[in-house]
Structures are given as structure tokens and as C-alpha cells.
Amino acid sequence: MQRAFDLTSIRMTLRKGVANGLFTVEDLDTPSDGFRRNMAVDRKSFVGGYNGVQYRNPLRDDDGIYG
């Protein structure tokens, strides 16, 4: 069985979207509004600190194909 979030399949899907003109690689450099909303946490809930999740464009890490 294949994992739900396999990075290779995610990159393939994103490459197909770029090839079909649905979006550009540069569009993926900016996190979505939903990602930003989910990362906006109340500091009172994390008294010891909260580092969150670092956003990154999966195609930028993809063997240098897209720059």
C-alpha cells in the first residue's frame, strides 16, 4: 500500500499542474491562505514556545529542475 502523502507523487502532481498551465512554480513559493490561518496560533496556548511548520515549495527542492 502506498502512503497517503508520498512526496514523489505530490511532486509529480504539481509538475503536471505546472505543465498544464494551471499554476506556475513561483505560485507555489507563497503559502496558501489556509496554511497561514492554520499557523496563526494563540501564544497563550504554547507557553513554552511554538516553532510551527516551515513552509517550502516542494518543486524547489526537486533536483534543481525548476531553479
Distances, alpha carbon 3 to alpha carbons 6, 10, 22, 58, in Å: 6, 11, 25, 17
pLDDT for 4 beyond 50: yes
| Contact assessment for residue 57 and residue 29, using Cβ atoms and an 8 Å cutoff | yes
Query: Three cell numbers at 57?
Result: 515549495
Residue-wise pLDDT for 40-51, tens only, equals 877 788 777 777
Domain locations in the chain? 7-45
DSSP 16-67: HHHHTTS--TGGGGS--HHHHHHH---GGG-TT---------TTTTSTTTT-
Q: Residue 37: what pLDDT?
A: 87
Q: What is the pLDDT of residues 9-22, one digit of tens each?
A: 889 999 999 999 99
Predicted pLDDT at 19 = 96
User: Residue 62: which pLDDT band, with cuts at 50, 70 and 90?
Assistant: low
